[in-house]
Every structure is written in C-alpha cells, then in structure tokens.
Amino acid sequence: MSYEFYKVLHFAGVAAVLMAMSSVILGAMTTKSRVFPAAKFFKSVHGVGMLVVAVSGFGLLAKLGLASQFPAWAMAKVGIWLVLGMYALPVYRNPEQGKMWWTGLWALAVVAAYLARMKPF
C-alpha cells in the first residue's frame, strides 16, 4: 500500500479517536457517570480508532524506512498514543473537570501533529 493510503488511514483513525474521546468527555460531564447514552458506541469507536492509528502509524514508519531505527519522535508519539488509550480513566474519575480534560486532549493532538510534521528529534 502507498504512503498516501497509510497517511489518510492514520488521519481517519486520529479523527475517530478525538471525536470518540470528546464525546466520552461530554457524556461524562453531563451525566457525572460512566453510563450515558451511546457510551458503549463511543468506547468502541475509540478502540477501533486506536487500532487504526497504530497499524497505519507503523505502516507510515515502514514506508519512510524508519521502522528498524525507530526515531525518538516516533517513540514520543507512541507515548502519546498510550496516554490517549487510557485517557477515559481520569475523565470518569473527575467528570466535573471536563473542560480541563478536553483541553488536554487538544494539547496532546497538537503535540502529536507537531512531532509528525517537524520530526524534531
């Protein structure tokens, strides 16, 4: 598969993760609970999006010829990916902090985009 295919797939996965987490944050904020309408759906979208991001991200590294050396910026992005994978846990513990969780989600996305685009290290 081509580099462009992996890139579009990666962006689609990122969009799914960000939309799902935003929905989980909003649902937890409004109900103050883990249980809200469509919670299972958003958790499923989050999981599938995480899988798509991982597969396409490693595919992109392979297409760039960086899979064997695994640069530091890619390790940082994997770290962000792991944080996003567990992001719902603190959201459910403190749903009243929803604005802070959403801002953190946005900041993680910006840092990941910066790392992917600029490859600073």
- Residues of the chain under the 50 pLDDT cut: none
Q: What are phi and psi of 87, to 5 degrees?
A: -65, -30
How many other C-beta atoms are found inside a 10 Å radius of the C-beta of residue 17? Answer: 25
In the numeric block, which tokens belong to residue 50? Answer: 């995480």
* CA 23 to centroid of chain Cα atoms: 13
Task: Decide: 105 and 18 in contact? Cβ < 8 Å.
Answer: yes
Q: Given this model, what pLDDT does residue 67 score?
A: 84
Q: Given this model, what pLDDT does residue 61 score?
A: 95
* Short-list 63, 66, 79, CA closest to 112: 79
